Amino acid sequence: MKVYNTLTKRKEEFIPLEEGKVSMYVCGPTVYNLIHIGNARPMIVFDTVRRYLEYKGYEVNYVSNFTDVDDKIIKKASEEGVSAGEVAERYIAECKKDMAAMNVKPATTHPLATQEIPGMLDMISVLIEKGYAYAAEDGTVYYRTRNFKRYGKLSGKNIDDLEAGHRDIQVTGDLKEDPLDFVLWKPKKEGEPYWESPWCKGRPGWHIECSVMAKKYLGDEIDIHAGGEDLIFPHHENEIAQSEAANGTPFARYWLHNAFLNIDNKKMSKSLGNFFTVRDIAEKYDLQVLRFFMLSAHYRSPLNFSADLMDAAKNGLERIITTAENLRHLSENAAAAETAEGVRPHAEQADAASAETSDGPRRCQEQMDAVTGITDEEREFYVQTDVYVEKFEASMEDDFNTADAVSAVFELVKFCNTHADPSRSKAFLEALSARLTQLSDVLGIITEREEEILDAEIEQLIAERQAARKEKNFARADEIRDQLAAMGITLKDTREGVIWKRV
Ligand code: AMP
Ligand code: ZN
């Protein structure tokens, strides 16, 4: 499998540190607002990378932080007159809801910066001891950038050029030895959250949190470090300087960066005000559509957001889901063939279809040999689907080319539409269905439609509740209200009758 490594600027063979295992750190959002769909791009693409690695049989330890202390969070908290912790907690909960709706798997660990202060104090102390950091008079601790000889190796920046253009770099104070030095710990200002430290009451800089969380949850050296391309400099460059100086080992072997999600060819960002939140999109589309839209491009290509592309994604997704539903429907209705041994139970077949080895999933010829109850012609058809799985895998093996992987899924869909009909055996239909589901799962596409709660069903329950109330059967009326609440329906009793809405 080849991955493009920002560090070496070329595609490289992926070899994990430990056989069969992958350690992966993805920089997460700063939680002061609802996430926008630009923030959703790294979540979706790196979740898909993780899913593919798991499909190949790797055990993936996936860590993604929430930055829950930061100037923007503090500003928002003071505007609202609440604590910074309350703002962060609220938007972490909202972010997790968005992630679930986009079918982004929860990380193995989602560490919070505020819970990792002791580790940060330790790493800063080590950096000071080793001469890579110093405390200024006011208690600010700076990283001594020039002492780290490999500074610039990720972003390809030359330290002398940086020095010359240092005005572009955020200047945080006048107490630095050198304008290139960056903050590891800063003194608190009035009313800000703070922690005790040997240098001053204060809070950590942004870069140190990721170095510390990656070390704690994954180790000194990790396989993959990922994030949006705006993080290459200075964030990831600074993470390398901190981690490698403190730990004395190389930090991450493969650095993966997604390109921007743009609007009118400009980066979508909070500061430019040209953004849509994931919630905005959810009002118009199922968030599976957003996910599918993101995967329709290679993660290193800029992607321009437009209603047309979203509608195209919606149609494409619909084609896959319709075929998957059709296969399920046909196989449910198909009679199991009577043979001496009978057809193997569904669960066992699905297991066979998804069985994986570290060399990749088993090919279908092998699976099919074990399945009885299918005709020779069907066996032959099924073996033909290997081509699509191979194309899918070859695309993903080439630096996670999801755009081509999606094309392979469409080809499989077309094949299924041509070869699946009510005359086919249950075993054949189930095997095709398992195959389509398996590839869709790697992309994080759910092929089962959510059960739609029909308006009529709700109206019926409301009428029953009204009748129960008339009969003074309040226990039953409350029971129905609870049942509706569990379905996401709230009721409001008004003079004009009951008004209900979906929440
Ligand atoms: P932030 O909260 O700004 O630190 O962003 C969280 C993650 O979203 C980082 O990995 C950013 O690189 C990424 N990101 C922010 N805006 C965009 C965008 N328009 N396109 C792609 N990724 C983005
Ligand atoms: Zn980070």
- Ligand in closest contact with the CA of 72: 1
Residue pair 124/184 in contact by the 8 Å Cβ criterion? yes
* 351 pLDDT tier (thresholds 50, 70, 90): very low
Residue 234 has what pLDDT?
A: 97
Beta bridge partners of 4: 11
**CA proximity to 44, closest of 444, 314, 446:** 444
Instruction: Label the pairing between strands 59-64 and 21-26.
Output: parallel
Measure 337 CA to ligand 2 centroid, in angstroms. 56
* 3-class secondary structure, 321: helix
Q: What is the pLDDT of residues 456-471, one digit of tens each?
A: 788 889 999 999 999 9
Lowest mean pLDDT among 165-179, 281-295, 299-313, 322-336: 165-179
Q: What percent of the chain has pLDDT over 90?
A: 78
| Whole-number pLDDT of residue 290 | 98
> Residue 323: is its pLDDT beyond 90?
yes
DSSP 8-class letter at 366: H
The per-residue pLDDT for 171 is 52
Ligand of minimum distance to the alpha carbon of 91 = 1
* pLDDT for residue 488 is more than 90: no
Distance (Å, rounded) from C-alpha 374 to C-alpha 431?
Answer: 10
Shortest-distance Cα residue to atom 21 of ligand 1? 260
**pTM for this prediction:** 0.85
Asked if 312 and 294 touch (Cβ cutoff 8 Å), the reply is no
Confidence of residue 489 (pLDDT cuts 50, 70, 90): confident
The total number of residues shown for the chain amounts to 503
Q: What are phi and psi of 25, to 5 degrees?
A: -120, 125
* Distance between Cα 321 and ligand 1 center (Å): 30
Query: How remote is the CA of residue 38 from the centroid of ligand 1, in Å?
Result: 6
pLDDT in tens, 298-310: 999 999 999 999 9
DSSP code, position 60: E
Residue pLDDT, tens place only, 362-407:
455 556 666 668 999 999 999 999 999 999 999 999 999 999 999 9
Distances (CA, A) of 330 to 202, 322, 369: 64, 12, 22
- The minimum-distance atom of ligand 1 relative to the CA of 28 is 6
Nearest ligand (C-alpha, residue 232):
1
| Average confidence (pLDDT) over 215-236 | 98
Nearest to 48 by CA among 361, 318, 293, 344: 293
Ligand 1 atom nearest the C-alpha of 303 is 20
Mean pLDDT value of segment 214-224: 98
Q: Between β-strands 261-263 and 303-304, what pairing exists: parallel, antiparallel or unpaired?
A: parallel
Residue 46 token pair: 């790196």
Residue-averaged pLDDT of the chain? 91
Q: How far is the CA of 269 from the centre of ligand 1 (A)?
A: 8
List ligand 1's pocket residues with C-beta within 6 A: 27, 29-30, 38-39, 41-42, 227-228, 230-231, 258, 260-261, 267-269
Nearest CA to ligand 1 atom 20: 260
